[in-house]
Amino acid sequence: MPANIINVLLAKDGLKHLDVQDHGGTHIDKHADPSTISWRLTGEAAQGKFVAMDCAEPGFSWSTKEPPPERDKGGPFGPATVIDNGNGLKITDYHNSAQSNGEWVYVLRVDMGSKGIYTTTTSLDPRAGVNNPIIINR
């Protein structure tokens, strides 16, 4: 199973958001075996924990206009899971055909305790200049 590990840091601009070190997107090529995409809190962010997936605003959610269908409905992604005592999060990408090609923007949320919840920044407006964290199945 191919693995992709992405570091997540606190943004250095002083605002309450996360910086996903994906270098312009997480690119997943078609593969017979599923791929694991994992996010790991590093630096100061490691003092926090990904928000539990059963919360109203969980540690991982899709922010695209049309999120991918769930895996049991033919979609390419399994459910996101918080791992490593909250310092990690993972999702499985079953990208094995042209039917699972696509680009999906997502949001990550980390609870930094007394500092509050930090999130990635996203915008569905391409003119917003926000570096959307994205998974690209190609």
pLDDT in tens, 27-60: 999 999 999 999 999 999 999 999 999 999 999 9
- For the entire predicted model, the pTM comes to 0.90
3-137 maps to CATH 2.60.120.10:
no
From 36, 23, 31, select the one nearest 101 (Cα to Cα): 31
Domain boundaries, the chain: 3-137
> What three-state secondary structure class fits 23?
coil
> What three-state secondary structure class fits 132?
coil
Look up residue 29 and give its amino acid: D
pLDDT in tens, 120-131: 987 655 544 456
Residue 112: per-residue pLDDT: 97
pLDDT tier for residue 66 given thresholds of 50, 70 and 90: confident
Residue 97: per-residue pLDDT: 92
pLDDT tier for residue 109 given thresholds of 50, 70 and 90: very high
